[in-house]
Amino acid sequence: MGPHRVRALDGVSAEIGRGEFVAVMGPSGSGKSTFMNLLGCLDRPDGGRYRLDGEEVGDLDADALAAVRSRRIGFVFQSFNLLPRLTARANVELPMVYNRAVLRAERASRAEAALIAVGLEERAHHRPSQLSGGQQQRVAIARALVNRPPLLLADEPTGALDSRTTLEIMALFQRLNRTGITVVLVTHEPEVAAFAGRVLLFRDGHLNEDRRQVPQEASP
């Protein structure tokens, strides 16, 4: 920033095991977004190493990183990011368009299976404007799952939802986590972080706390 060097992350070292459910917390500017961008292969580290499932990915070129994101990572966002003119099923199919490993004939069946996994098979032909906020987020989660990634990254996924719908979404994340999917979730809300089995707390670019906990059971 001008003549000043800002270390968004400084000396951070963390290992997340397969099948964990981790909540990432911290105030604005703490480094948690940069941490998530690195995990999601959206940013490259200036120093140090990032290994994803044992593979060093920090030095991969843009095409290789795009392939990693497409096949090994699912993304869920606060604002859903659904295309308004497409049906729920068509929105879920989108990531498969960029995944050459999925044949065109498979897309519809895999999209339907993903919608069944989030309990929205009856809304497959509805557009986002015909769905509630919670239903739109379920579609977004189905979209994140359709390429069957082992890692799910969620950035404030309940930030636009009411308390009851938040419980429904967190119950869904817990259920997916029990199937073996690794879930890493950014949140400002301690009530949401309580549903994870581990909490990483960032402040001023440092990982200040890494604690394990008995997760609360989300029951809407």
Domain ranges of the chain: 21-43+55-212
Residue-level pLDDT at 108: 83
Residue-level pLDDT at 220: 63
The b-or-e profile of 61-100 (16+ CB within 10 A means b, else e) is eeeebebbbbbbbbbbbbebebeeeebbbbbbbebbeeee
CA distance 151 to 174: 13
CATH number among 3.40.50.1820, 2.40.400.10, 3.10.620.30, 3.40.50.300, domain 21-43+55-212: 3.40.50.300
Six-digit token string for 164 = 């009851």
Residue-level pLDDT at 5: 82
- Helices 104-117 & 133-145 angle (0-180, nearest 10): 130
Chain length of the chain = 220
Q: Tell me: the pLDDT tens digits for 52-73?
A: 988 899 888 888 888 888 889 9
pTM of the model: 0.91
pLDDT < 50 positions in the chain = none
CA distance 199 to 193: 7
Give the closest residue to 95 by CA, choosing from 26, 152, 142: 142
